[in-house]
Amino acid sequence: MVGGGPAGLTFARVLHRHDHPVTILERDSAPDARPPGGTLDLHDQLGQLALDKAGLLAEYHALSRPEGQAMRILDTDGTVLRDWRPRPDERANPEIDRGQLRDLLLGPMDVQWGRGVTEVVPGTRDGVLVRFADGREETFDLVVGADGAWSRVRPALSSATPHYTGVTYVETSLDDVDTRHPDLARLIGDGSMAVYGVNRALVAQRNSGGHVKVYAQFRAPLDWHTNPDRHLGLNGRAGQDAGTGTGRDVGTGVGTGRDTGMDDSMDASTDAGLDLGDVEAVRSSLLALFDGWAAPVLDLLCHGTAFAHRPLYVLPASHTWTHVPGVTLLGDAAHLMPPLGVGANLGMLEGAELAESVVAASSPGDLDKAVHAFEEQMWARASNRAKFTMAGLDRLVSPDPAQAIALFDEVQS
């Protein structure tokens, strides 16, 4: 199994529960080699079902934050338009930090850290050949690519590559928010808070331990930073969205993190324009983009100490491939979609289902048939979800903010 994200680890953990051997290959040098990302809401019939198959549901409930299901929607002038809070017994989509979920899934698993895969070659005499960045090679009976948006396994099956959606996130964080920024803590509430304007939004999400992720979301060319005034239309923007007072702005929870198709590079631009490595320059451009919005809302951008540039990429919603014995894909490697709370959930369930199919196979022929049947089921389900999330992204970051609140109301109903 290639990749140590939620989908791959769920696959491995279910196999481990059934005493079935599995090798986990992860390019990162250690579990904490880079930040694990934000928070995930695990759905009762997707991610939670997968954890149940792995025997981890009770431990998940002990770690999760049911209060994190809360959602507040504010107008650009700071007026509260929606304030949805879960019932005391609501457990449909509790939140859990990605780092906590990773550690839960890892448990006793033995991971080969620092094993970056460069190529997968099916159909060799000894099985599926895997080539590594260090020059070594190994063969396996079945290689499962759960290595995210920029999968190194996917080229063995498909020529598809992710394409830019036209929406970029710029992420920052606040720590110890209840003590250091109590006004913002009250503004955000117990879960998520969103403010939507014309082709842009600000979303804040609580993680555990007083940590908050903040996402500035906007439509722009991929190279917007080379000339932000022109590409973001900053000239003459002041006050454009202030005090709409329409009751129209909405959002749904946004799950973000490692393998969601966000380009997590933060290299300084080599072109004339905005230096993406210059914290104050990025902050200034974002404040200009949201100029005219209520001061308490803009404070979400004023206290971050670093900004990460994350353009959103997706695979075609109808992405499939001709079945190749010995190789398959899970999660974002198979069906990269916008981070609207679906991708990780779907990938985890796929991991659990594929693992159960592997365990049930009694011969190499049965295994190949089981993998092929799994792929066909995955393609149909993922295609529907990918179309839904793309339509959702189009409504959430829209020329008409009324589309956002309409989507929120539909989801809640």
Residue-by-residue DSSP string for 161-226: --EEEEEEEEEEEESSHHHH-HHHHHHH-SSEEEEEETTEEEEEEE-GGG-EEEEEEEE--TTGGG
Exposure string over 151-185, b if 16+ CB within 10 A, otherwise e:
bbbbebbbebebeebbbbbbbbbbeebeeebeebb
Q: Are residues 23 and 168 in the same domain?
A: no
Is 112 a member of any domain?
yes
* Contact predicate 354/144, CB 8 Å: yes
d(CA 257, CA 279): 20
Could you tell me how far CA 45 lies from the centroid of its own chain?
Answer: 18
Could you say which DSSP state residue 365 is in? Answer: H
Is 375 a member of any domain?
yes
Is 76 a member of any domain?
no
Instruction: Residue 251: give its domain's CATH number.
Output: 3.30.9
Q: Are residues 129 and 210 in the same domain?
A: no
pLDDT, residue 235, reads 61
pLDDT tens-digit series, residues 314-343: 999 999 999 999 999 999 999 999 999 999
Residue type, 256: T
Residues spanned by the domain of 153: 6-70+90-162+315-393
Q: Are residues 227 and 263 in the same domain?
A: yes
**288 has a pLDDT exceeding 90:** yes
Q: Is 87 assigned a ligand-binding role in the annotation?
A: no
pLDDT tens-digit series, residues 74-119: 999 999 999 999 988 888 899 999 999 999 999 999 999 999 999 9
Q: Is 83 assigned a ligand-binding role in the annotation?
A: no
pLDDT tens-digit series, residues 32-66: 998 888 999 999 999 999 999 999 999 999 999 99
Q: Is 32 assigned a ligand-binding role in the annotation?
A: no
pLDDT, residue 250, reads 29
Is 81 a member of any domain?
no
Total count of domains within the chain = 2
User: Which helix H or strand E contains 47, and what residues bound it?
Assistant: helix 47-53
Mean pLDDT confidence for 141-164:
98
Q: Are residues 336 and 384 in the same domain?
A: yes
Q: Are residues 235 and 294 in the same domain?
A: yes
Q: Are residues 189 and 272 in the same domain?
A: yes
Q: Which two tokens stand for residue 278?
A: 């210059």
Is 322 a member of any domain?
yes
Q: Is 41 assigned a ligand-binding role in the annotation?
A: yes
Is 82 a member of any domain?
no
Q: Are residues 192 and 300 in the same domain?
A: yes
pLDDT, residue 238, reads 39
Q: Are residues 303 and 168 in the same domain?
A: yes
**Percent of the chain topping pLDDT 70:** 91
Is 205 a member of any domain?
yes
User: Which helix H or strand E contains 295, and what residues bound it?
Assistant: helix 295-302
Q: Are residues 18 and 157 in the same domain?
A: yes
Average pLDDT of every residue of the chain: 91
* Contact predicate 150/163, CB 8 Å: no
Q: Are residues 384 and 278 in the same domain?
A: no
Q: Are residues 346 and 298 in the same domain?
A: no
d(CA 37, CA 346): 18
